[in-house]
Structure 1
Amino acid sequence: MINLRSALTTVTIAIAASMAAGVTHLANAQQVLRVSAIPDEAPTELQRKFKPLGAYLEQKLGMKVEFTPVTDYAASVEGLINNKLDMVWFGGFTFVQAKVRSGGKVIPLVQREEDEKFKSVFITTDKSINKLEDLKGKNFSFGSESSTSGHLMPRSYLLAAKINPDTDLKRIAFSGAHDATVAAVSGGKVDAGVLNISVWEKLVAAGKVDTQNVRVFYTTPGFYDYNWSVRSDMNPVVRKKITDAFLALSKNDPQGKEILELQRASKFIPTKTENYAAIEAAAHNAGLLK
């Protein structure tokens, strides 16, 4: 006679084993993590910054990690939502663009602690420029049109100061990257420009800016900015491994210290879509998000 309880136990164990095997298969199904970043700095610098992080993620995930540079900000958005990339280092605005373009199917995983209160700096070589209002009638450079800290948020602060960049400035240029903005200002191509404070501080520390010639005349209030984002359909096992890997980075060990310093981060912290609501609102108000 068949023992019903024993048979049910056997079936339960078999189902559990099958589910566990399925999860393991899902975790192993993705053999390569395709990563990119918005091109807010020179491609060689982005590659240099990512190399040790990529090696670390390979160790933690047990899969190959490939960094693929993109030509512009829009390409990073399209690459992720069209399944050509798996994870992207977005600015706040590019994350919002990706979220909207994908119908809410892009989610942010982690950000640097510094990205909770990120800032932009307005720079100039012109001694007559000492406040935002002094920019009227001047030639000015933003970074990329899709940059949060190089365009969107600086534009919103200009508008708040009753300065319409499109009508009150003599000419607007878009340099394409933060370091290119510094070069445009220091080279006299424009009277002033704006870039993110992190790149500015890095260039100053490296002695790549003549601070006797180029100076900061306005620093914005803080706002949420950069994050590492993935599509919502990423295997949850892989997603958790990625998140845990970033959160485990510490300056108390040599590998973590090198990675965090290259990423200009004290540490990584979890983030969420709601953190970028103000950026989305600013983009709508500035007419940059349809």
Structure 2
Amino acid sequence: MLHSRLRQLGLSLCLLLTSASAAMADTFVFTAIPDEDETKLVERFRGVADYLSEQLDVEVRYIPVKSYAAAVSAFRNNQVQLAWFGGLSGVQARRLVPGSEALAQGEEDQAFQTYFIAHTDTGLEPGSELPEAIRGRTFTFGSKGSTSGRLMPEFYLRQQFGEAPESVFSRVGFSGNHTRTLRLVEAGTFDVGALNFKVWEKELAESNVDTSQVQVIWKTPGYPDYQWTIRGDVDQRFGDGFKERVRTALLNLDDPELLASFPRSAFIPASNSDYQPIETVAEEIGILD
């Protein structure tokens, strides 16, 4: 009797696990690099999940991650099939998953910029190039895997000073995300920092910047940055033509409130080749082999 009950219980558990696995297999999962405060990201991407679910007629789920590296790992391990990456993290992910493809980028991502900001107590003023007077100051990047918060600002620092950032500044930090970079420089914890221009402009528009304490001192030239990247095997899992349906859904996303949360004015077509300049820079400064 006991043996029969145990066998029945085991069969029930097996059926339950099989059903759960089948449900997961039918769910299209995506993530995004954690470039801003988590609460903002969750609100933004839940809206994207609802939109994609309606457009694709499948269950769509957003899962947050704690780091840029975790976003790349989740994509590599097929825990997510789609991701909103920065330029560098997208290059890293596509290198790890052959056949993956950049589908769409924001209108503003064709010529993205990094803003160098400084606490007003430093006396540093806005100019057409990075001032020599930043040497010896304290400086913070964003995340180590960020295009606009680390890769490109380091590239321009090396280009101007001919040295690694650790030789230019008295102390170098990594804040983890753009919002935190802004807060650290605004508070005077670091003299100078580098962050993506869209975060600065959004925070400024929402009156979340104390301009008596922090200001932009230099703006980089434009470079390609954020994009939606999808795994190449999604058609096998979700049906023929699924990748193109995702591309179409992203390009047709026109909800003003949702676009403003990125913030982007629209999504436009993107391709892997658009990000060759990012890959080249990453190889030049030793972030990619």
Q: What TM-score, normalized to structure 1?
A: 0.85
CA distance in 1: counterparts of 2:214 and 2:107, whole angstroms: 28
CA distance in 1: counterparts of 2:26 and 2:269, whole angstroms: 25
Residue identity over aligned pairs, in percent, reads 38
What one-letter code is carried by the residue in structure 1 that aligns with 2:193? G
Larger Rg: 1
Match of 1:109 among 97, 103, 106: 103
Q: Over aligned residue pairs, what C-alpha RMSD do you find? A: 1.6
Question: For residue 289 of structure 1, what is the aligned residue in structure 2?
Answer: 288
Question: For residue 195 of structure 1, what is the aligned residue in structure 2?
Answer: 195
Per-residue Cα deviation, 1:233-283 (whole angstroms, up to 9, x for no partner): 111522111111111123xxxxx1222111211111110011111111110
Question: For residue 21 of structure 1, what is the aligned residue in structure 2?
Answer: none
* Structure 2 alignment gaps of length 5 or more: 1-22
Q: Indicate how the Cα distance of structure 1 residues 132 and 234 shifts in structure 2: closer, same or farther if over 3 A, else same.
A: farther
CA offset at residue 149 of structure 1? 0.2
What one-letter code is carried by the residue in structure 1 that aligns with 2:168? D
Q: Does 1:96 align with 2:95?
A: no
SS in 1 for 2:234: coil
CA offset at residue 132 of structure 1? 3.7
SS in 1 for 2:264: coil
Q: What TM-score, normalized to structure 2?
A: 0.85
Q: Does 1:36 align with 2:31?
A: yes
Per-residue Cα deviation, 1:124-162 (whole angstroms, up to 9, x for no partner): 114432334221111000000000000000111111112
What one-letter code is carried by the residue in structure 2 that aligns with 1:32? T
The answer to whether the 8 Å contact 1:34/1:87 transfers is: yes
CA distance in 1: counterparts of 2:78 and 2:99, whole angstroms: 12
What one-letter code is carried by the residue in structure 2 that aligns with 1:223? Y
Question: 174-183 or 129-138: which moved more?
Answer: 129-138
Question: For residue 150 of structure 2, what is the aligned residue in structure 1?
Answer: 151
- The residue correspondences of 1:222-241 to structure 2 (distance < 5 A) are 222-235=222-235, 236-241=240-245
Question: For residue 172 of structure 2, what is the aligned residue in structure 1?
Answer: 172
The answer to whether the 8 Å contact 1:128/1:134 transfers is: no
Question: For residue 160 of structure 1, what is the aligned residue in structure 2?
Answer: 159
Q: Does 1:270 align with 2:269?
A: yes
What one-letter code is carried by the residue in structure 2 that aligns with 1:261? A
* Structure 1 alignment gaps of length 5 or more: 1-27, 251-255
CA distance in 1: counterparts of 2:146 and 2:265, whole angstroms: 23
The answer to whether the 8 Å contact 2:161/2:168 transfers is: no
CA distance in 2: counterparts of 1:29 and 1:89, whole angstroms: 21
CA distance in 1: counterparts of 2:110 and 2:67, whole angstroms: 25
Question: For residue 248 of structure 2, what is the aligned residue in structure 1?
Answer: 244
CA distance in 2: counterparts of 1:85 and 1:149, whole angstroms: 23
CA distance in 2: counterparts of 1:141 and 1:222, whole angstroms: 21
Per-residue Cα deviation, 1:207-232 (whole angstroms, up to 9, x for no partner): 11101221000000000000011111
CA distance in 2: counterparts of 1:271 and 1:222, whole angstroms: 16
* Aligned length in residues: 257
What one-letter code is carried by the residue in structure 1 that aligns with 2:114? S
CA distance in 1: counterparts of 2:247 and 2:94, whole angstroms: 19
